[in-house]
Structure 1
């Protein structure tokens, strides 16, 4: 734990996805709340999407961070802000002026979360 998912619209050309994941992971490590091997990140390019009324140039990047419950709302908010800063830096210079960036932090109940290392 944590699990991080970066979703981004398929029309967002020029995004260095690997570097974005590296930067997102580094931000989580730098927070002091996680150990390196515990962070699992992945990216999903979405070809089928619609933003608003379907403006073709509208784009987005969204991070979902899933954590085991127990951290304060201040800590979760700080993590969300730090990850949003990474998204801002990762945004390609040629991005649409209507690109939306967002971060969502979700708490998982440790009673119903299972994990095994094999």
Structure 2
């Protein structure tokens, strides 16, 4: 059964997904930062060890590792943020919006048929 507006009973319903969007951006930012800092620490260790192999190899390995770590951290942070935002949208925010009357509501708010 599709969602129905509790105000006008229309079935033309859209989703806002504000929580999913905001939490995804925050998660990506935090994930990229944490990935970058973790790999930067590893790059410093690699630099200390890589001095024996040559300064060019150590520098390229350290910079490449930091960039890859930032991308992987950002991707994992974004996916975690989107999952959290999806829960926020479904449980806390008025995620559903009626395209007929503009009324915002949650999926669990119930329709007028649920009143007993």
TM-score in same-fold range (> 0.5): no
TM-score normalized with structure 2 length: 0.29
| Greater fraction strand | 1
Q: Which has the larger radius of gyration?
A: 2
Task: Tell me: higher relative CO, structure 1 or 2? Use CA pairs within 8 A at least 6 residues apart.
Answer: 2
TM-score normalized with structure 1 length: 0.29
